[in-house]
Structures are given as structure tokens and as C-alpha cells.
Structure 1
């Protein structure tokens, strides 16, 4: 392993045995070193294999522009995330989260407050990510001598979701707002249903919407071979849910300018389960004439 570039005393860009660029960190690992020299193996503390050259280049800029204590805090938080979730975390979080923490501390020092009211439902929509974000807020409070507001967990949670979905941060915010609008629509259409936002049905529905909207943003394939007969039977047996699903599809189509007729069956099943889960004996089955689904 040899040094390709020294970023600072504690961070270098090195070439591994396959001549791929990697980020290597360790106390004093770059001090007095020159390009082409061998990396001091005894000083290696962390190695980052970032997924693309663009990500690597952006991370180099972060290393050079943001203070070491912020970078280390972001790395501690990311390591904590990886230890407490089985979900895949995109390497870009090393850039986005570090930059966010830097901007957060600057805003606090200037007395600038961000309005998180638009993200008020993040905890319900992304409960696992929100809990991880709360851990991140605790870490920041321990490492920085500033008052980190509790609602900062909303923003951190979005960064975590963003790293899982691999889309732009603003797209993740837009997806969150769309899901929240859809959930509000369902609650309005079914005022007598008590929704359990920690339930498996609710989590599956939100996850389905997340990946549907992600595929739309990334112009993925939405061509499903759904059963028209099954759709017709469900519409016949659950007309209120069917009307609600049509409204949901209208919201998505108008926001993203994408036809999603192939999603009708899946959305119907999710909405029916959400709105009938409290009915005795109906928790895991859908009623149709001639049998159950």
C-alpha cells in the first residue's frame, strides 16, 4: 500500500494492492510523508473504500475544508449506525452527514434555526432511522459544547434514509412529504380506524411507497403483470379503499408525472390491510367473494 496523496497529518489517499484509491486514517499517518512512500501499517486506524471516484473526490474536499473534530464525530455516528442496523448504508453519507453537522454547528453559532415542522412525521414514517438519529444527536451533544435541539433527529433521520435509498437529499425530503400526504389522506378517509404506526402493516406500506417513489425518481421499471380479475374483485369488495387508492395514485401521478396503473393491486392490498387490521379475524386475510387472499 503506497501513498497517493496526503490530505492532512491524519488522513491520506492510498493505493491498495489492486491499485484502487482508498482513504486511510490514523494519527500522524500523513505527517512528513511524500507521495509514493509506503503507508505506515502500524498507524492505520480506519480504511474507507468509497464506492465511486466522485464520492472519493467529494470526500477529499470534505477532509480539507471541515475541521477534524467534526469529521471524527461523523465517522463515530456512521460507525454507530452500521452497528445498529442491518440496512445498507451508502458511502455518500460520509460526505452528506459530515457536511450537515458542519452546517448545523455554524447555524447554531449564528443563532439560525431551521423549521423542522415539515418533517414532523419522520418518527412515524421511519421509526428505525429516527431511533438511530436520536443516538446521533446524543453523540453530538457529548462531543460538542453546544445545545443540539431535539428536532435535529428529524434531519439526521432523513440523511440516514437518503443513504439507504441512494437519491438526492431533497428528493428524500420530497418522498417523505409525499408519503405523509398519502398517510394523512388514508386517515382522513377512514376516521374510525385506529392506525398503529409501529405495526408491521404500516411499516410495510411505508416501505412500499418509499421504493415505489425511488424507482420513479430513478426512472426504474414499473411494469407489473398484475391480475385484472383480482383488482376487480377487491374493488367490488372494498369500494371505499378502492376510491382511496385512486386518490393516492392521483397524488403520485400529479407530483411525479408518471403513470402507475400497475401499482393499483399492490396499493389496494396495503390499504385494505391497513384499514381492516382491527377487524376480528381479518388481520391477515382479505375478503373477496369466493374466498380469501
Structure 2
């Protein structure tokens, strides 16, 4: 690979043997490389293949006005997420998350705090992503001597949740978080005092609802024709089935989508487990 441009201490624009432009990421790469020469250094952490000239401009614009100390700290913070969630941090997610953290630090300098109105929901239903967001915020605060608030951990969690969907869409991710809270409330209000939110069954129920909403929003609901099993579950768990129907009505009212019988079946099964 030939180095085309040094973007900062840790990012190089390079060209491979097929003349394809790529971003190479690694700590201190600028100190052992020169533009126009072959790429050196074994500390390469990630390589992004760029689709077009716009992608090159996106990277250049993102890095050109960022203080070097910010760029290096953000790079290392995102590396924590990349190590914890292998394969999740794509080129676009990396750029979006990097850009978000730059603006978060700039807002902090100006004493501007944006409230995350879904912070409770993210902390409650996406604990892994929120915990990782807190880890990244703690790292940035220590590294840069700043005090990024907990709200930013919630914002990072949004990006990490969004990154795990087949077709990332931040607006749809935020809608899913709000709907997850509403569905949880439907179940808790239907069975007051019966739901143990610290149980393994409830944790599995939340995971099921996360994937259920992803399927609903992407129009990829489960479908099947096993009427016998469906009718058996309805007879065995009438209260759970009634609650699942409430969720179905909520989905219908919110999205104008009828959930499939297969999805209704699995909702009933998971609800029956958390009220045992």
C-alpha cells in the first residue's frame, strides 16, 4: 500500500495495489510513514475501504479541524467499543460516532448540555451498550481532564444500538427505544406486582422485544402456519395471550401494522414466563 496523505497522528489515507483508496487506523502511524511512500508500521488496528470520493472528503473534513488531543482520545475510546463489540463498528458508524464525540466535547467547552430524554430507557433496556458508553465517557474524562455527563453515555449507547441493526437508522432506533418502554409498561400494568425485572426471564423478555421491534420496523416479522401449537398456547396461557394482544393493538395503533400470529405466539410464551 502507498501512503497518499497523512490525516493526523493515527489516520492515513492510502492506496492499495488495485488503486482503491482506504483509511488505515493505528496509533502513531504518522511517525513512521511519509506521503508518497509505501506504508510502514505493524500497529495497524483497522482498515476502512472507501467507496467513493465523498467518503474521502468525509474523513478529511472530520479530522482537519479536530485538536490532535481530541482525535487521539476519541480514537482510543471508540477502540474500546470496537474491541467489546467486534464487527459492529463499520466505517459509517465510526465516522458518525467520532463526529458525535467531537461535538460533545465542543458543547462541553461552551457549557451547553443537551438532555437525553430517553436516558432512563437506554440505561434500563440496553445495559450492555450503556455500560460501554459509560466506559468510553470515563476514559475521555480521564484522558482529557473533562467532565462529560452521563447523558453522553446514553447518546453513545444509541449509536451502538443503531450499529447492530441491519440498516442503521438513528430515528428508527430512538422510536424502538420508546416503544420498548411502552411495551414494558403494558406488561407491568397488566400484571401489577407480578413482574420481577431483575429475573433472567425478564432479561430474556426484553431481548426478545428488542429483536421483535427490529423485525417489525424492518417489515421482517416471523411467519408460520402451526395452528395447533398456537391454539395450545392460547388455551394454556389466556392472560398472557390477552396481554400479547394488547401489545399487538399498540403496534397497530402506532405503526398501522398487524403483527403476525407467529410473533403473537412468541410474545405470549415470553410473557407467560415472566409472570410465573
Q: One fold, TM greater than 0.5? A: yes
Rounded Cα–Cα distance in structure 2 between residues aligned with 1:152 and 1:172: 16
Q: How does 1:1-293 map to 2 (within 5 A)?
A: 1-8=1-8, 11-25=11-25, 26-28=29-31, 33=35, 37-42=36-41, 45-50=44-49, 52-53=51-52, 58-85=58-85, 88-165=88-165, 166-197=167-198, 199-219=199-219, 221-262=220-261, 263-276=263-276
CA root-mean-square deviation = 2.7
CA contact (8 A) 1:29 1:44 kept: no
Q: CA deviation at 1:55?
A: 5.6
1:112-151 deviations in Å (ceiling 9; x for gaps): 2222243212222112112211111111111223222233
1:50-100 deviations in Å (ceiling 9; x for gaps): 575576653343223433333322221222123334673333331121111
Rounded Cα–Cα distance in structure 2 between residues aligned with 1:56 and 1:273: 51
Deviates more, 1:154-163 or 1:225-234: 225-234
Rounded Cα–Cα distance in structure 2 between residues aligned with 1:10 and 1:268: 51
CA contact (8 A) 1:77 1:139 kept: yes
Q: TM-score, normalised by structure 2?
A: 0.84
Q: How many correspondences in the alignment?
A: 270
Rounded Cα–Cα distance in structure 1 between residues aligned with 2:207 and 2:12: 39
Q: CA deviation at 1:181?
A: 0.8
Q: TM-score, normalised by structure 1?
A: 0.80
Q: CA deviation at 1:5?
A: 4.4
Q: 1:117 to 1:4 in 2, by over 3 A?
A: same
Structure 2, unpaired ranges of 5+: none
Partner SS state of residue 92, structure 1: helix
CA contact (8 A) 1:10 1:28 kept: no
Q: 1:14 to 1:114 in 2, by over 3 A?
A: same
Q: CA deviation at 1:22?
A: 1.7
Q: CA deviation at 1:212?
A: 2.9
Rounded Cα–Cα distance in structure 1 between residues aligned with 2:266 and 2:89: 27
Rounded Cα–Cα distance in structure 1 between residues aligned with 2:158 and 2:229: 36
1:141-194 deviations in Å (ceiling 9; x for gaps): 112232222332222212211112252222211111110110111111111214
Structure 1, unpaired ranges of 5+: 277-293
Deviates more, 1:138-147 or 1:223-232: 223-232
Partner SS state of residue 30, structure 2: coil
CA contact (8 A) 1:116 1:154 kept: yes
